[in-house]
Structure formats: structure tokens, C-alpha cells
Amino acid sequence: MPEAYDAVVVGGGHNGLVAAAYLARSGARTLVLERRSVVGGAAVTEEPWPGFRLSTFSYAAGLLRPQIVQDLELHRFGYQTYLLDPEMFVPLPGRKSLTLWNDDDRSAEEIARFSERDARAYPKYSQYWTEVVELIDPLLLSAPVPLPELLEVVPDDRVEELVRDLFLRSAADILDEWFESEELKGALCTSAIIGTFLPPDAPGTAYVLAHHKLGNIEGHPKSWGLARGGMGGISEALRRSAEHFGATVRTDAPVRQIRLQDGRAVGVELASGERIDARAVASSLDARHTFLEMLPPDALDAEFRSHVAAIRSRGSALKFNAALDALPDFVASPGAPKPHHRGFIDIIPNMDYARAAFDDAWHGRFSRRPFMDIVFQSVHDETVAPPGKHTMSCFVQYAPTTLDGSTWEEAKPAVADTVLDTIGEYAPNIRQVVRHWQVVSPADIESTLGMTGGNIFQGDITPDQIFTFRPVHGWSSYRTPVEGLYLAGSAAHPGGGVLGAPGHNAARAILEDWRPGS
Ligand SMILES: Cc1cc2nc3c(=O)[nH]c(=O)nc-3n(C[C@H](O)[C@H](O)[C@H](O)COP(=O)(O)OP(=O)(O)OC[C@H]3O[C@@H](n4cnc5c(N)ncnc54)[C@H](O)[C@@H]3O)c2cc1C
């Protein structure tokens, strides 16, 4: 007799592991099945070259909810973070640069070099987002509430302003209203476009910006950092926690289908043909893979299937990961290591630059002058590179799901040239210090992880696809039209990023449905 479980979690990404840990902690016999030989999904560390360990996909920690860190005792299982400060160093043409720190007053001093008016406005702008985060944060670790109730949590005198800003406006609208410096607006629009196939002018990008303000590293609100050992450090801690609470985690275990009996999920079948029975199946695959590939077509009605097929899930970005013999030397602030090597380095001199980069991708090309978000993990963390050597992680945008006239595989050498030439405009020694590089394209993201279109969030996190609209309207409670089947990954509220919240909320829905003691 094969062993039966209370819950089988399909996919061992960080959300699958969070769901499993909470289920096991509540006493449920829980099994995680991961297709790859490494757990973590988009939150993994791999060693493409001996001695160099890189966060292949996601690279910046901060979104993981503090409550999850505490409940699952992640510090005990190896979770450790480093604060990224400066928050952002933007090298600019003409040997100039703009540095933003986690301290608003220090940032304002820097901004004053560009605009006195913007320097005065910046602390107020920062406070505005603090207030937004204080409203959104408590909504993350529970199922989304319907819009009318959602509006009730906002103070009456601010409802209209906040609905307009977060749901209807673009990041560019908001930044143009607050600031005059093109350099500052370029820097600040990065959070609104990251991972999203939209320019900063698109309505809804303001919400994407808000989502990226939810970072919190060791009690520093709106801040970001790195996980010791790379993003796989988070997933390994989650795996150890889940196992500590009693879950079993199997890798190299691809699931072929979710098994149904009388319309109810009763377990899974692996690609090997092995069948595993369970009272509940929690899928952390995206909605399209879960509903359109893991289930027989007649399991769901045509209307639901068409809503799932319509979820916007376009690729927008790629990763360029590299092993370095030395740090790049930026002409705007010569020398290495310098403080800016300890923070995010962003190549985006203004919003027009982002618009042009998007325009290329809209027409089926990789951006000729891409926006880049760069970190050197090795400056903080000695575990990821041999002594004296460095790692460089570049998030590079825009990269459409498919290219006109070539495959992503064919385009990789040209992409690497574009990335190195773009960095080289600001740090001319880049080509001398790069020892190895890899391009992780939207096609790689899709084929390795199963994220449709290479979309890094398992579906855009614009207002039409968040809260009760995620994954599709009417099915945002982690439950699905198939009894016994739950959605536990980023495709569910509150969406993508290494938040852990969808996994937490799905586990809670399952436990509620079982009712204690049943
Ligand atoms: C390039 C990139 C950069 C990013 N940068 C950041 C960042 O810096 N910070 C941040 O917070 N977020 C970032 N994100 C977003 C974030 O990483 C993801 O939203 C999040 O990790 C998704 O987690 P998940 O557990 O929901 O899904 P996934 O990580 O996609 O996990 C799904 C798992 O299911 C497995 N799987 C697929 N099919 C099967 C099958 N048939 N059987 C068994 N297992 C299967 C996959 O291998 C995978 O492990 C980035 C994402 C990408 C791709």
C-alpha cells in the first residue's frame, strides 16, 4: 500500500515549503514534491562555476513576512540577512551619480544636489509610502477581502486619494506630481516596473511600486537586503523548518497530474507513474499550469478555464549572473570596494530611458539600453565566492517572452554584450573583471520553473490581478473549483516575490476546511 498523506504540496518553491511547514506544524502528514533536484523554485542558490554561488533567479530578500520567519523559527534553521544600504546608487552620464540611503534625511541631502525642491519633498514622499505600507501590510497574511471591505480599512478622508493613486494611476503620474528631477524620478520608478511588462506610464504601475515597498529587513521598514548564502539560504531554512515540523520533502519528483475521484482531488501521479493519495492537494505552480495542465480538461467549466487562460503573465526581464575577479570600478565614484558596492546599483538615468527600453521589448526586441538592478552579494557574504573574488547579479529589463526573429538561446551572446557594454559606460573595467557569465532568459525561467511566459510573479501584480482578482475573480480564497485542491503559490494573493504569504494563507485555508480535530 502506498503511504497516504493528509496534504501533498506540488512544487517545492518557497511558498510550497511555507505551506508545508505550517501544515506539518499543525500535525498534518505533509509531503512536498519538487520537480528539480534543488528546492526553492525562483529562490535558489546554485553553483554554475566552482566556488561561485549565485542566486540564479530572485536575488533580493526583504518581502518574506516577519511573522513567517518567527512562526517557522527560520533563524534557528540558518536564515540570516544583510541590509542593503545604500538603498540605491545610480551612476549617471558625465561622472555624476545619485545615491539614496535607507535614511531619508541623508537621501534628501544627496537629492539637493539635483533639486532643492525635491530634497524638501522626499521625506514627505517616503512618509506617504510608509502610510500605504501600514495599510497593506496587515492584509497580506489572510485571504483577500472584497473591495468594499478593503476600502473600509482606509481612513475616510483618504479613500479616494489612495484608490486613485494605487489602483488607477501610473508611477510616472505620481512621480511627476512629487518631483522635478529627471534623475530622481528615474531612480524611483524602478520599483514600479520591476518584473512587469509595462512602462512607468501605465496605469496600475503605482501598485507595483507599493508592492515593492513591503520589504522589511530585520525591522527596517521599506528596506531590502540579501540572504546569507543567496536566496537558496531562505529556501533551505524553510526546508529544514518544514522537516523539523514533520514534513517530507522529495526532490527530483515531477508531478504529472492531480488525480481526481468524483470531481474531488484525491492525490497526485508522478511522471514516474507513482501514485500518492492525499486528503488535500496544494499546488504552488502558477494558475495556468495548475488548472490547464495538471487537471483533465473536463474537470473545470469552460468559463473558469477561459478566465485562467486570460491571466496576464508576460515575461519582462532576464538575469545576467557573473563571476568576477574584482569589483567593477564606477567612474562616478572611483575605487572598490566603496559604499555603493554594498547596495543596489541601478542603471536608469531617467524615466525616458525606461520608456525606450520598454519600447524595444514591445516590438519584440531585447532592450538595446536596458534598465538594470545590480548587486554584489560577495561584498557582504563570504560564502558565495572564493576569497578576493566576487559575484554579480544583474536583473535586466526589458526582455519579452519571445523575440522576433530569433530564439533566446541564439540571442544570449548579443544580450551579454549589451549588458556588459551598458555597465561599461559607467564602469569601464567590467570586461576585464568578468570571468564567467550566464544569461537566464524568460524562456529559461519558464522552462526551469514553470512560470508562464517567464513572468517572475506567476502573473502580473497590477491592480486588476491582485486581492480578490487573484488568480481570477471569485476564486481568491486559495480554494478552487475542484474540491480538495488549493492554490499555494504566487499566483494567489498577495502575489509574487519571496513573501511566503500565499503559502501561509493556503495552509490556513486547508486547515480551516478540515476543522480542528476532524
Ligand atoms: C528572475 C527573477 C528575479 C526575481 N527577483 C526577485 C527578488 O529579487 N526578490 C523577490 O522577493 N522576488 C523576486 N522574484 C519573484 C519571486 O522569486 C517569485 O515570485 C517567487 O519566488 C515564487 O515563489 P513560488 O513558491 O510561488 O513559486 P516558484 O518559485 O515558481 O515555485 C514553484 C516550484 O514548482 C516546481 N514545479 C514546477 N512544475 C512542477 C511539477 N510538475 N512537479 C513538481 N514541481 C514542479 C518548480 O520547479 C518550482 O520549484 C524574482 C523572480 C525571478 C524569476
Cα 69 to Cα 74: distance, rounded to the nearest angstrom: 5
Give me the pLDDT at residue 517, please. 46
> Can you give the pLDDT at residue 153?
83
Q: How far away, in angstroms, is 16 Cα from ligand 1 center?
A: 10
Read off the pLDDT of each residue in 103-119 and give the average, rounded to a whole number: 98
Instruction: Round the average pLDDT of the chain to a whole number and report it.
Output: 96
Distance CA 212, CA 276 (A): 38
Copy the grid coordinates of residue 508. 490556513
Which band of pLDDT confidence, cut at 50, 70 and 90, is reported for residue 2? low
Q: What pLDDT was estimated at residue 175?
A: 98
Ligand 1 site-directed mutation target among 18, 35, 213, most atoms within 8 Å of CB: 35
* The pLDDT value given to residue 157: 85
Residue whose grid cell is 536608469: 348
Lowest mean pLDDT among 118-122, 158-162, 483-487, 503-507: 158-162
Name the pLDDT band for 409 (thresholds 50, 70, 90): very high
| Residue keyed to cell 512536498 | 32
| Residue 516 pLDDT | 52
Determine the average pLDDT of the residues in 76-93.
97
Taking the CA of residue 502 as reference, the ligand 1 atom at the shortest distance is 26
Q: What's the average model confidence in pLDDT over 381-400? A: 98
Check residue 184 and give its pLDDT. 98
The pLDDT assigned to 154 comes to: 86
**What's the CA gap between 456 and 318, in Å, rounded?**
9
How does DSSP assign 192-231, residue by residue? HHTT-SS-TTSTTHHHHHHHTT--EETTEET--EEETTSH
**What would the pLDDT profile of 43-61 be if each residue is shown by its tens digit?**
999 999 999 999 999 999 9
* pLDDT > 90 in the chain, percent: 94
pLDDT in tens, 414-440: 999 999 999 999 999 999 999 999 999
Question: What residue's CA is closest to ligand 1, atom 6?
Answer: 58
Picking from 351, 364, 317, the residue whose alpha carbon sits closest to that of residue 196 is 317
323 pLDDT above the threshold of 60: yes
pTM: 0.97
| Cell numbers for 221 | 521598514
Q: Distance between CA atoms of 318 and 398, rounded to whole angstroms?
A: 8
Task: Read off the pLDDT band of 3 (50, 70, 90).
Answer: low
In degrees and rounded to multiples of 5, residue 268 shows phi and psi of: -135, 165
pLDDT in tens, 287-308: 999 999 999 989 999 999 999 9
Longest CA–CA span in the chain (Å) reads 74
Across the range 249-262, mean pLDDT stands at 98
173-194 tens-digit pLDDT: 999 999 999 999 999 999 999 9
* Alpha carbon distance 246, 243 (integer Å): 5
Task: Tell me the residue length of the chain.
Answer: 518
Residues within a 6 A CB radius of ligand 1: 10-16, 33-36, 41-43, 57-60, 63, 254-255, 284-285, 319, 395, 445, 449-451, 456-458, 489-490, 496-498
Query: Positive or negative, the Cα torsion across 425, 428, 430, 431?
Result: positive
If residue 438 lies in a helix (H) or strand (E), which one and from where to where? strand 434-440
| Average confidence (pLDDT) over 72-93 | 97
Report pLDDT for 452.
Answer: 98
The region, left, alpha or beta by phi > 0 then psi within -120 to 50, assigned to residue 515 is left
Q: What is the mean pLDDT of residues 124-143?
A: 95
pLDDT above 70: percentage of residues in the chain: 99
- Give the mean model confidence (pLDDT) for residues 354-366: 98
pLDDT at 472 over 70: yes
Prior bond of 148 cis (ω within 30°): no
pLDDT at residue 40 greater than cutoff 90: yes
Closest C-alpha to 448, from 49, 37, 20: 37
